[in-house]
Structure 1
Amino acid sequence: MERTIEGKAETSGPVPRGVAGFAYTEADEEKRRGVRQMKLIATGLLVLAAAVFIFAKVMDHNGHGAWTGYLAAAAEAGMVGALADWFAVTALFKRPMGLPIPHTAIIPTKKDQLGQSLGDFVGENFLSADVVRSRLHQVGIGRRFAGWLGEPANADRVTGEVSTALRGALTVLRDSDVQAIVGEAINRRVSQVEVGPGLGKLLEQVVADGGHRRVVDLVCERAEIWLVANNDSVMNAIAGGAPGWTPRFVDRKVGERVYKELLRFVTEMRDWPEHPARGAIDRFLRDFAGDLQSDTATRARVERLKSEILARDEVQDFIASAWSSLRTMIVGAAGDEQSELRLRARAAILGFGRRMEADERLQAKVDGWVEDAATHVVTTYQRQITSLITDTVAAWDADQTSRKIEAHIGRDLQFIRINGTVVGSLAGLIIYTVYQAIVS
Structure 2
Amino acid sequence: MRLIATCLLVLMAALFLAARQFEPVHPAIGFVRAFAEAAMVGGLADWFAVTALFRHPLGIPIPHTAIIPENKDRIADTMAAFLQSNFLTPQVVARRMGAVNAAAAAGAFLADPRTGESRLRDGAAGLIADILESLDPEELGGLAKGAFRRQLEKIDLAPLLGNLIGAAIADGRHMAVIESVVRKAAETIEANEPLIKTMIHERANTILRWTGLDEKLANAVLDGLYKMLAETLVVPDHPLRRKIEEGLETLAHDLVHDDAMRDKVERMKLEVLANPAFARWLDGLWERGRTRLLHLVRNPQGALGGGFGASLAELGLALQRDVRLQRVVNRFARRTLVGVSTRYGAQIVRLVSETVKRWDARTVTDRIEGAVGRDLQFIRINGTLVGGLVGLLLHALDLAL
TM-score range, shorter chain: 0.7 to 0.9
The equivalent residue for 1:201 is 163
Label 1:275 to 1:343 Cα distance change in 2 as closer, same or farther (>3 A).
farther
- SS state at 2:208 partner: coil
Paired residues of 2:158 and 2:256 also in contact (CA < 8 A): yes
- Spell out the pairing of 1:285-364 with structure 2 (5 A cutoff): 285-337=248-300, 339-340=302-303, 358=322, 359-360=325-326, 361-364=328-331
Q: Which moved more, 1:79-88 or 1:154-163?
A: 79-88
Q: CA deviation at 1:156?
A: 1.9
Q: Distance in 2 between matches of 1:110 and 1:329?
A: 57
Residue identity in the other structure for 1:172:
S
Deviation (angstroms), 1:122: 2.4
Indicate how the Cα distance of structure 1 residues 233 and 135 shifts in structure 2: closer, same or farther if over 3 A, else same. Answer: farther
Q: Compute the displacement of 1:313 (Å).
A: 1.6
**Of 65, 69, 93, the match for 1:111:** 69
SS of the equivalent of 1:306 reads helix
Please state if 1:280 is matched with 2:236.
Answer: no
State the 1:189 CA deviation: 3.5
Show the 5 A alignment for 1:102-181: 106=65, 108-113=66-71, 115-127=72-84, 129-130=88-89, 133-134=93-94, 137=97, 138-139=99-100, 141=102, 143-154=104-115, 155-181=117-143
Percent identity between the two aligned chains: 19
- Farther off after superposition, 247-256 or 201-210: 247-256
Q: CA deviation at 1:380?
A: 1.9
| TM-score using structure 2 length | 0.72
CA displacement 1:180-235 (0-9 Å, x = unmatched): 33343344343344322222222212221222222223333444555566666655
Alpha-carbon distance in structure 2 between the residues aligned to 1:193 and 1:153: 46
- Retained in 2: the 8 A contact 1:203–1:285? yes
**Conservation of the 8 A alpha-carbon contact between 1:204 and 1:289:** yes
The aligned runs of 1:36-435 (5 Å cut-off) are 36=6, 39=9, 43=12, 58=27, 83=41, 87-88=45-46, 90-94=48-52, 106=65, 108-113=66-71, 115-127=72-84, 129-130=88-89, 133-134=93-94, 137=97, 138-139=99-100, 141=102, 143-154=104-115, 155-225=117-187, 238-239=200-201, 241-247=203-209, 249-337=212-300, 339-340=302-303, 358=322, 359-360=325-326, 361-369=328-336, 372-373=339-340, 376-392=343-359, 394-396=361-363, 408-414=374-380, 416-417=382-383, 420=386
SS in 2 for 1:126: helix
Q: Deviations over 1:132-164 (max 9, x none)?
A: 734872555554334323332232232223223
Q: Distance in 2 between matches of 1:270 and 1:278?
A: 8
Where 2:207 maps in the other structure, the secondary structure is coil
Structure 1 340/282 Cα, relative in aligned 2: closer, same or farther at 3 Å?
farther
The AA in structure 1 aligned to 2:93 is: R
Supply the distance in 2 between the matched residues of 1:304 and 1:254 (Cα, whole angstroms).
Answer: 44
How has the CA–CA distance of structure 1 residues 149 and 231 changed in structure 2, closer, same or farther, with 3 Å as cutoff? same
Considering fraction of residues, name the structure with more helix. 2
AA paired with 1:122?
M
Structure 1 residues 148 and 337: CA distance shift in structure 2, 3 A: same
Shift of 1:291: 1.0
Instruction: Give the RMSD, CA atoms, in angstroms.
Output: 4.7
CA contact (8 A) 1:146 1:354 kept: yes
| Residues 257 and 293 of structure 1: CA distance in aligned 2, closer, same or farther (over 3 Å) | same
Contact 2:76/2:354, CA 8 A, preserved across alignment? yes
Is the contact made by 1:87 and 1:96 (CA closer than 8 Å) also made in structure 2? Answer: no
Shift of the 406–215 alpha-carbon distance from structure 1 to 2, 3 Å rule, reads closer
Distance 1:412 1:198 in 2: 81
Give the superposition deviation at 1:322. Answer: 2.7
User: What is aligned with 1:20?
Assistant: none
| Conserved? CA contact 2:41–2:384, under 8 Å | no
Q: Distance in 1 between matches of 2:305 and 2:237?
A: 49
User: Which amino acid in the other structure matches residue 350 of structure 2?
Assistant: R
Q: Matches of 1:239 and 1:367 in 2, distance apart? A: 88
- 1:246 aligned counterpart, secondary structure: helix
Give structure 1 stretches of 5+ with no counterpart.
1-30, 60-70
Question: Does 1 or 2 have the higher relative contact order (CA < 8 Å, sep 6+)?
Answer: 2
**How much has 1:323 moved relative to structure 2?**
1.9
| Distance in 2 between residues matched to 1:82 and 1:303, nearest whole Å | 95
Q: What SS is found at the alignment partner of 1:245?
A: helix
Name structure 2 gaps, 5 residues minimum: none
